[in-house]
Structure 1
């Protein structure tokens, strides 16, 4: 059996751990549109049109949730996403997908729609370019007309 030459070995690029599962989740959530997977510190972030709708951590898909979607996720037995950092356990607004949802695109569709609704609801309004650190709803400040400066003694013109 012939051995691969060094040039043949460099053609295949190594894939990040979990990339196949991330691709599978993107396909399952395709009813939302184009789902993009990006590497994150814990795993992957899945987004649609710039909105994060899901994360993958520890080879588990977690869908974005909010108060409106929470009862459905809890009723389906979904677990909350929590992690411990510096001795503090934090719960995030993401829940596991129901097991059956990972089997097909039609089974994932209603859960993906709930995640998209939660992501849209969590979106912050865009900041105005002129708004630097303040609220976009501040009333306009009125300023007094500028008075000419008095001339220094001994200056000409």
Structure 2
């Protein structure tokens, strides 16, 4: 069975964020993961966009009272992805800084992951 194409909403989001790079949408857990260069920087679940957040950019979201993504609304578990303000979804110029901050968080996470893997790599005795 062929893969279902992304929804019109997801396609529109990818087009709005295209100035950042080649935004790809991939089906994930009933929603979509959005990535650039293989780095997932956003999620779309139930037609809501969420950007990756970390210690560097999280405050920008929380200061506006934005809540993190809850994959199961009836459970307390959250993921470090936050929605942009509603007004950002209407205007590319307002959305791009939020998207850029999510992509930068994804890049920082990749650097941390690579450094952690390098530390764990066992040395080979010759």
Q: TM-score, normalised by structure 2?
A: 0.83
Q: Greater helix share, 1 or 2? A: 2
Q: Which runs of 5+ in 2 are unaligned?
A: none
Rounded to whole Å, the distance in 1 between the matches of 2:99 and 2:11 is 15
Q: Which runs of 5+ in 1 are unaligned?
A: 1-12, 129-133, 143-157
Candidates 124, 135, 157, aligned match of 2:120: 135
Q: TM-score, normalised by structure 1?
A: 0.68
The alignment covers a number of residue pairs equal to: 122
- Provide closer, same or farther for how the CA distance between residues 75 and 88 of structure 1 changes in structure 2, counting only shifts above 3 A: closer
Q: Greater strand share, 1 or 2? A: 1
Tell me if the contact between 1:64 and 1:116 (Cα under 8 Å) persists in the aligned partners. yes
State the 4+ residue runs in structure 1 displaced beyond 3 angstroms.
Answer: none
Matches within 5 A, 1:82-97: 82-84=70-72, 88-97=75-84
1:6-29: CA deviation from partner (whole Å, max 9, x where unpaired): xxxxxxx9x65x611101111122
- Determine helix, strand or coil for the equivalent of 2:120: coil
CA RMSD of aligned residues (A): 2.6
Q: Which has the higher contact order (CA 8 A, sep 6+)?
A: 2
Q: What is the deviation of 1:49?
A: 0.3
Query: Which position in structure 1 is the counterpart of 2:89?
Result: 102
Q: What is the deviation of 1:100?
A: 1.2
